[in-house]
Amino acid sequence: MSALSATQSSVAQELFIGDVGDNSVKHFDIANGTYLGAIVPSSTAGLRGPMGMIVTEGQLVVVNQNINTGSRGEVLKFDVTSGTFIGKLVASSDRDAPFFPQGIARGGPDQNFYVADVGVQSGKCSNQGDVKMYDAAGAFLGNLDRRAFTSEFHPRGVVFGPDGLLYVSAVGCLEPKDPAFNRLTGYILRFNPATKAFVDVFASDATVPDLHRPEGLVFDSQGNLWVASFQGGATQNDNILKLNGHNGRLIGEIPLLAPDGSRAPAQAIIFGPGGNLFVPVTSGTIAGAVLQCNPANKQCSTVVQAGGPLLSPWFLVFRNSDPATLSYTGQ
């Protein structure tokens, strides 16, 4: 019985992390920080730029950006236990494949897949993005209707909130050669998944000054929204922001700094065991580290050391993360 319990505990605390540094997906037993290897080895099934990931129906679903291939992005499926490639939910050859996909979630009334597509990467910010919808078989169902949102729209992260709405992190123009370039712009938008309609701007850099270039976002058990915010503003810091889940106002933030005081930027976050936030550091002096942050006292410790198996980790998900809300369902 004790051996069985240990096995169940390890599975419940199994964390998958996409490593852009070598185009793999690696996994860890986060209970003790043990590295379990690359469950999806480098470049398996053409993986070039692993981004958003979810676990659903025994499958690890991974967004593939197809970086520097000239191809559109796609969505790949792997067995969550063995890592065996199962097939493509959305192939890059599909007419409605995303151009440059980032985050992914699965939920809503019909359990569809929602993929944040930053847009065509051609040096022009007028080539905006979309949130694309696919059914369980990967058939394209259309884009969310963003017409009522008149600013530049380049979505990066998606998650379902306690209210059943889809929350989307988005940025403005990030092309330095474009006159509209603004690295400080950031939005959290809400959409109705049943009607595809735009609901409102839940938060922005105008209402939350440190909300810059947001990506990963996840709700805690109290219904508050946590967002990874990239460097910008007066502080020039990378932060994890805590927003009131009802009105989007800033409640608090966790600055991301290395021990030497340098930057420790993160693109994505996830809640895990003990109600803690797990934060992969994508670059800087402690690139490859995974931090565990206590949301109550805002103190962080290191559970995966820099200089280890991770090179440039981005999105992450627990085996027991809900594919819609990304909330941790393990014990």
Give the pLDDT confidence of 34-48 residue by residue, as tens digits: 999 999 999 999 999
What is residue 121's predicted lDDT score, i.e. its pLDDT?
61
Q: What distance in Å separates the CA atoms of residue 156 and residue 98, rounded to the nearest whole number?
A: 12
In the predicted structure, residue 280 carries a pLDDT above the cut 80: yes
Q: What is the mean pLDDT of the chain?
A: 91
- 172-191 pLDDT, tens digit each: 887 778 777 777 889 999 99
Partners of 159 in the β-ladder: 167
What the chain holds in terms of domains, given with CATH numbers, is 38-261 (2.120.10.30)
The stretch 295-318 carries a mean pLDDT of 95
The stretch 88-110 carries a mean pLDDT of 96
What is residue 8's predicted lDDT score, i.e. its pLDDT?
53
Model confidence at 33, pLDDT cuts 50, 70, 90, reads confident
What is residue 257's predicted lDDT score, i.e. its pLDDT?
85
In eight-state DSSP terms, residue 328 is B
In order of 147, 157, 199, 214, the CA distances from 229 in angstroms are 25, 12, 22, 5
Angle CA(302)–CA(308)–CA(309) in degrees, nearest 5? 115
**Better-scored residue on pLDDT, 124 or 50:** 50
Partners of 32 in the β-ladder: none
What is residue 3's predicted lDDT score, i.e. its pLDDT?
34
Partners of 19 in the β-ladder: 24, 313
Collapsing DSSP to helix, strand or coil, 95 comes out as coil
Q: What distance in Å separates the CA atoms of residue 179 and residue 62, rounded to the nearest whole number?
A: 34
Q: What is the dihedral of CA 223, 158, 215, 78, to 10 degrees?
A: 120
- 118-176 pLDDT, tens digit each: 987 666 777 789 999 999 999 999 999 999 999 889 999 999 999 999 999 999 887 77
In the predicted structure, residue 7 carries a pLDDT above the cut 70: no
What is residue 5's predicted lDDT score, i.e. its pLDDT?
34
Which tokens sit at 230?
């990239």
Is the CB of residue 60 less than 8 Å from the CB of residue 80?
A: yes
pTM value?
A: 0.94
Count CB atoms within 10 A of the CB of residue 113: 25
Is the CB of residue 240 less than 8 Å from the CB of residue 221?
A: no
The one-letter amino acid code at 146 reads R
What is residue 232's predicted lDDT score, i.e. its pLDDT?
56
What is residue 6's predicted lDDT score, i.e. its pLDDT?
37
The stretch 189-213 carries a mean pLDDT of 95
Which tokens sit at 301?
């410790």
What is residue 1's predicted lDDT score, i.e. its pLDDT?
34
What is residue 259's predicted lDDT score, i.e. its pLDDT?
86
- 224-277 pLDDT, tens digit each: 999 999 875 455 678 999 999 999 999 999 999 888 888 888 989 999 999 999
